Structure 1
């Protein structure tokens, strides 16, 4: 915000600063399936590649259509007329025609391959960027579903340039064939010209159920893929709780639905292909019949008959290809719709752009206009005691009793025991800015949490580690702290050295996604070490030791007791962790009590029951 300069006398009080205006919330840009397709086709000069690809494929198809015409011409001018020189000349022109159509194909193929790869990459970046949006997503999708959209759907829409270019080239081939047939026999040309729009209309009608079934097939397949990904990554947990049979039942149900959707889509596709092939075969038969009758009547010569038969055989392939476009368009539109739905999912948490106020604190500190910049130190001022730093976290209760009145200062360890696991998880999600924040209820570092965008809150104020934390497919070292030295005290506090000692390559061991090859306790120690290596003033940990044995949990509790300089909020029911807290806020019988852990343990039977002590 720029400073307001006043021309009033020096004795007059300075004018008040203008009121702060809340910046607009940032949400994913509005996307429609058409926007998605246009992004893949035209953004970043891909329209030129599309134009080159369409020109190359069209040149190839026009050349293919002219081949039977050139052969018929060579027969009439060379063989029938007995002109050897003319025949050799026609053969040379035919060779040039083949060279031209070959070059056109290679040129078009190169342009379209580049356009496809670049277009799919651009869409993939948008999908991944939306998945990584700091505000999250109001609609939760399984990781496998997002993966399917970012891979198969983006690749399918990226190939839309092929569909457009092939459609243009097929129409060019049909027009060229029709003009050639008109030159030989007007009746034959009219047959092709009338059959083409009829074919397009028929295929468009037949493709409508196919589009619906293709979308259902892709959605069902993505759901089954998402379940498979989650079950494979969490197989240890499923075995631990004895849920293998239930997981297998759910996957079998999703797989059966995917199979049924695929069968319906294939049935529609088979019918579509059948109609297309029958229509193109009938057209070819009609052209061959009419040309044969005219040849018998002597209305067309031998070379012309060869040209007509060749064109009739050639045009069958473009006409059949024309019928297939409906299938491809249906599949690509369904994929574009899925990408658009992903991109337009509203965030779970509104994101605000933060304005940085870098102006001087007073006019006295502002250098006079035109004064040279120097590196001389500013004159010393009398030291005055500044205000005490704001607490790392302040929770203000409301009319309900969901949250306690709580203040966590730097260097404090505060435990929070909630009688509702869901409410405890919701509090951690709020502090992590992964859920909406009610204004006026939470403040971090003296700033209201609701006014901070999620990215700023997480980068500068709070590191909250909840159930969403995952082991990454990277080395153990980079899972704990990326491209930075490891802190020996932190590693000892979380017993991560024991995990490294069991791995063949130690801290250089590359872990699988989600830590599938590790035990639950090993994963928790890695995630806890990652949290302790962060630098945010407020550290929020939600049940960080549930998978550890009692001895290791005591070691970790001792390590957390040695954390200094940071405010630590432990949302847990672990007696070992609560014992190292300076104070504990516990919700007992619908009311909050804030007291040291030993006192609660001694005076409250309900508290002892709540923490299982």
Structure 2
């Protein structure tokens, strides 16, 4: 388990972890050896001069004090290393999640990652702080005591030594018996977490349908399955816990009977018998705790295995010799991209000269937004190449690539901070004057003026305290502040009221000025100013040209235009 822990955490933590484990092991050994001093104490007490026990009692007290100091040092080391590893694990997990392809974040991933990043990481890393020391003590201290018993009374020591594989076999059987039930419970736990998130996200739909008084069936089913899985997990562990307890008690009774026979037969003296029984009692206590500690270790091991699997998921590879593009023209060279068994983009070739604007239109599912994601390298293509300035995006360092691209999505997500905090994400080192200028250009200043706390107004989780139009203005101001030469727009006005739509359009025009732009448009009114329009269907370009050329052709684009204009009376 320590090897898996180091694999998850990274080997730069190997030295403090091994040092802590060594300290915990030394503490357990000293605890076992300290009990050896009970033998001369009891011999003196049962002998003709009880006062001779005084030096041995002092030595025993010193040994106990030494054990207490070691225990304090090992526990403190465990807490310190555990805290350091917890921070390091969160950093490593966050860095890795940020490098995984967007396609990895499929259905069910939110609940899985949420559990893993909260309870999973805590449970896995807390092994060093809370579980490892008791486990090492429960395993090493009895073995040390057995060695002491061999030195004091070899018959009882040999009997105790023969009992070691019996206890180990029961513990191993317990772990195997509960593995399947524990795995099912973890799986049900993830599903339940996903359903809770789904239930929260579905509140607007449920309330709009007048179903707030009803129970959410999918969530209830998931929670019932989790309850049943938890019950099966507890029941599957019960035979092992009882079996371990009965085994330890039976072995202790056998040692008691054997010791009594040896004493009655004159094989050992009463002092040796009493010392051996005291030592056997000290063996039994930690062994009885192995059942509970073993369950905690199995839970931590399961979380570590999931962390290991996640961190082993290959991220998008970084180039060994990064290339920095000199220009910002965009090109798709025979690009094919598949999502599972579905081909989203099929052998597509397209060129956008530097400083020009391309509008991508087409029916839902045609692959429009995927083109933007491929340009930003949220995915890697399956065939062909996506190029910026003639350079394959896979040959550009990720930080360099993202510094050259500003993206404005249709659904804007804002972090739970102030408006200024979210705006500065575009360029953290920007001056106050640059931040204010970007806000003015996006007409965000109008929003800030009417908010009670101005720039310090909290936006809430996801930007929930702002309207859709206000969130879009923050997003555009952030992109303006970034001042990237390539702009990607995923229809940003499709759900806005006329006032916000006009403000957002004004901000977008300022954002696009002088930059290479690819815009995905669902409202065809927004594409007339594009230098070129590409009509996608089934991941292929079926028409390409200017707005007037495509209307004149009377093809798919013209039909889409007529449908789009019909509600306004322009069909």
Q: TM-score, normalised by structure 2?
A: 0.82
Match of 1:186 among 140, 151, 154: 154
Unmatched tracts of structure 2, length 5 or more: 337-344
Distance 1:510 1:490, change over 3 A: same
Aligned to 1:537: 485
Match of 1:592 among 543, 546, 560: 543
The one-character-per-residue Cα deviations of 1:345-378 (angstroms, maximum 9, x if unpaired) are 233x5442344599xxxxxxxxxxxxxxxxxxxx
- 2:320 corresponds to 1:353: yes
Aligned to 2:514: 565
Question: How far has the Cα of 1:246 moved from its partner?
Answer: 11
Contact 1:583 1:597 in 2 (8 A): no
- 2:39 corresponds to 1:95: no
Aligned to 1:104: 70
CA–CA distance in 2 between the matches of 1:253 and 1:41?
44
Distance 1:96 1:443, change over 3 A: closer
Aligned to 1:269: 237
Contact 1:409 1:567 in 2 (8 A): yes
| Residues 75-94 of structure 1 aligned to structure 2 (within 5 Å) | 75-78=42-45, 80-84=47-51, 86-94=52-60
Contact 2:407 2:489 in 1 (8 A): yes
What secondary structure, in the 3-state scheme, does the structure 2 residue paired with 1:228 have?
helix
CA–CA distance in 1 between the matches of 2:160 and 2:464?
61
CA–CA distance in 1 between the matches of 2:288 and 2:335?
69
What secondary structure, in the 3-state scheme, does the structure 1 residue paired with 2:514 have?
coil
Question: How far has the Cα of 1:285 moved from its partner?
Answer: 1.9
Distance 1:535 1:357, change over 3 A: closer
Aligned to 2:376: 432
**Matched residue pairs, number?**
544
What secondary structure, in the 3-state scheme, does the structure 2 residue paired with 1:150 have?
helix
CA–CA distance in 2 between the matches of 1:547 and 1:112?
54
Question: How far has the Cα of 1:541 moved from its partner?
Answer: 0.9
Distance 1:294 1:503, change over 3 A: farther
Unmatched tracts of structure 1, length 5 or more: 1-31, 359-388
Structure showing greater radius of gyration is 1
Aligned to 1:278: 246
Higher relative contact order (CA 8 A, sep 6+): 1
| Residues 211-360 of structure 1 aligned to structure 2 (within 5 Å) | 211-229=179-197, 231-232=199-200, 235=203, 248-296=216-264, 299-324=267-292, 326-347=294-315, 349-355=316-322
The one-character-per-residue Cα deviations of 1:265-306 (angstroms, maximum 9, x if unpaired) are 222222221111111111222222333444455654444443
Question: How far has the Cα of 1:194 moved from its partner?
Answer: 0.6
Question: How far has the Cα of 1:583 moved from its partner?
Answer: 4.8
Aligned to 1:447: 391
Aligned to 1:606: 560
- 2:439 corresponds to 1:480: no
What secondary structure, in the 3-state scheme, does the structure 2 residue paired with 1:473 have?
coil
The one-character-per-residue Cα deviations of 1:230-278 (angstroms, maximum 9, x if unpaired) are 6546755775798989993333333333333322222222222111111
CA–CA distance in 1 between the matches of 2:324 and 2:418?
40
Aligned to 1:392: 329
Q: More deviation in 92-101 or 226-235?
A: 226-235
What secondary structure, in the 3-state scheme, does the structure 1 residue paired with 2:216 have?
helix
What secondary structure, in the 3-state scheme, does the structure 2 residue paired with 1:570 have?
strand
- 2:92 corresponds to 1:126: yes
Distance 1:208 1:37, change over 3 A: farther
Aligned to 2:445: 497
CA–CA distance in 1 between the matches of 2:493 and 2:48?
96
Distance 1:157 1:403, change over 3 A: same
What secondary structure, in the 3-state scheme, does the structure 2 residue paired with 1:568 have?
strand
Contact 2:8 2:307 in 1 (8 A): no
Distance 1:33 1:174, change over 3 A: closer
RMSD (Å), alpha carbons? 3.8
Distance 1:602 1:555, change over 3 A: farther
- 2:425 corresponds to 1:471: no
Question: How far has the Cα of 1:195 moved from its partner?
Answer: 0.6
CA–CA distance in 2 between the matches of 1:151 and 1:517?
26
Question: How far has the Cα of 1:319 moved from its partner?
Answer: 2.1
CA–CA distance in 2 between the matches of 1:602 and 1:101?
90
Aligned to 1:548: 496
The one-character-per-residue Cα deviations of 1:439-465 (angstroms, maximum 9, x if unpaired) are 6564323434454354432223x3234
Aligned to 1:142: 109
Contact 2:146 2:157 in 1 (8 A): yes
Distance 1:580 1:254, change over 3 A: farther
Q: More deviation in 32-41 or 527-536?
A: 32-41
Question: How far has the Cα of 1:221 moved from its partner?
Answer: 1.8
CA–CA distance in 2 between the matches of 1:430 and 1:456?
16
